[in-house]
Amino acid sequence: MRKTGGTARWLAAVASIAILLAPLTGGRADAAPNPRFVVVLKDSVEGQRASARLERAHGFTSDFRYRAALNGFAALLSPGQRAAIEADAEVAYVVPDEKLDAVGFVPLAAGESVPTGVQRIGAATPTTAHEASVANVAVIDTGIDLSTQPELNAVDGTNCVAPGTPAQDDNGHGTLVAGVIGAKNDSTVGGIVGVAPGTKIYAVKVLDANGSGSTAGVICGIDWVTANAAALGIKAVNMSLGGFGFADGECGALISRGPHRDRDVRLRRAARCRRDLDRVHPALPALG
């Protein structure tokens, strides 16, 4: 590939939302320069009605409204607006919108047909590779190169960075991830072979050209996957991204809440790419 610039199953996916959204302790959360916040509504609340009511009452407009993976929204809020919303009877909690970044991959050497990592997990040998998976995959990342990568069976999903435009990769990280997952076993295009060559991959763009994004944008991507997984046959999600924060134990309590239902989607995140994961999102044993 060419390089460019039952309930348990659903629990694995939504555990990442819990770790991203759990109220954080420590100075960084309160001192975050971004005044955008993620507002989580109570499970019993009708989200669209409550979001519209809060917007009218407190004079703001939501940047994102979450319907499928999470009951809530994200918006730029002044300190006064945040305090009023936190005190609202229909609100579960409010957390700062944290900055997240793509987790590092080392680009493969030119001409390598089967990457060492693909061989190490038993997905290929120097002479053989798996067939394409019947399950589709979503890559929540910087997007995927949808125009110049014939090695990929990649299609447009959604763009949470520039809504309404294709999830085109302007960084390269998401395209590399997609290649590791599903670069084709096709002599007409050459290059590397992925773990499941030719598997259909949906591009979900939540990180910008610098490989940076936020909690709110990532939830936007997860929300889209949750809403469309059944119709599109998406059975797995990859997120190679992370950010710093400290969970205060709320994550476990969230596991029994409404979003933690079986949507038959498995979510996987990159592990230990460059640092100790104890203080990095997501850091939860429920994720593999």
Which residues in the chain show pLDDT less than 70? 1-34, 103-132, 187-190, 244-288
Which single residue is written with the structure tokens 């609340």? 45
Q: What is the pLDDT of residue 265?
A: 56
Residue 215 belongs to some domain of the structure = yes
Q: Are residues 133 and 119 in the same domain?
A: yes
Q: What is the pLDDT of residue 288?
A: 41
Cis amide prior to 33 (ω within 30 degrees): no
Q: Are residues 198 and 268 in the same domain?
A: yes
Domain boundary residue, one of 81, 96, 111:
96
Q: What is the pLDDT of residue 130?
A: 62
Task: For the beta carbon of residue 94, count every other beta carbon within 10 angstroms.
Answer: 21
Q: Are residues 110 and 39 in the same domain?
A: no
Q: What is the pLDDT of residue 136?
A: 96
Q: Are residues 90 and 198 in the same domain?
A: no
Q: Which of 138, 153, 134 is nearest to 265 (CA)?
A: 138
Residue 286 belongs to some domain of the structure = no
Q: Are residues 85 and 200 in the same domain?
A: no
Q: Are residues 212 and 266 in the same domain?
A: yes
Q: What is the pLDDT of residue 238?
A: 93
Is the distance from CB of 180 to CB of 123 less than 8 angstroms? no
Q: What is the pLDDT of residue 210?
A: 94
Q: Are residues 119 and 191 in the same domain?
A: yes
Residue 287 belongs to some domain of the structure = no
Q: What is the pLDDT of residue 284?
A: 47
Residue 1 belongs to some domain of the structure = no
Question: CATH no. for residue 105?
Answer: 3.40.50.200
Q: Are residues 277 and 229 in the same domain?
A: yes
Q: What is the pLDDT of residues 20-36, one digit of tens each?
A: 444 433 334 444 445 89
The SS3 assignment for 189 reads coil
Is the dihedral angle over the CA atoms 80, 81, 85, 86 positive or is it negative?
negative
Q: What is the pLDDT of residue 120?
A: 59
User: How many angstroms separate the first and last alpha carbons of the chain?
Assistant: 26
Domain boundary residue, one of 96, 111, 131:
96
Q: Are residues 157 and 275 in the same domain?
A: yes
Residue 266 belongs to some domain of the structure = yes
Q: Which domain holds residue 215?
A: 7-13+101-244+258-281
Residue 224 belongs to some domain of the structure = yes
Phi, psi of 187 (to 5 degrees): -65, -20
Separation between Cα atoms, residue 73 and residue 232, nearest integer Å: 24
* Number of domains observed in the structure of the chain: 2
Residue 200 belongs to some domain of the structure = yes
Write out the two tokens for 162: 């520039």
Question: CATH no. for residue 47?
Answer: 3.30.70.80
Residue 19 belongs to some domain of the structure = no
Domain boundary residue, one of 43, 78, 96:
96
Q: What is the pLDDT of residue 251?
A: 47
Q: Which of 47, 45, 32 is nearest to 96 (CA)?
A: 32
Q: Are residues 92 and 65 in the same domain?
A: yes
Q: Are residues 228 and 86 in the same domain?
A: no
Q: Are residues 172 and 52 in the same domain?
A: no
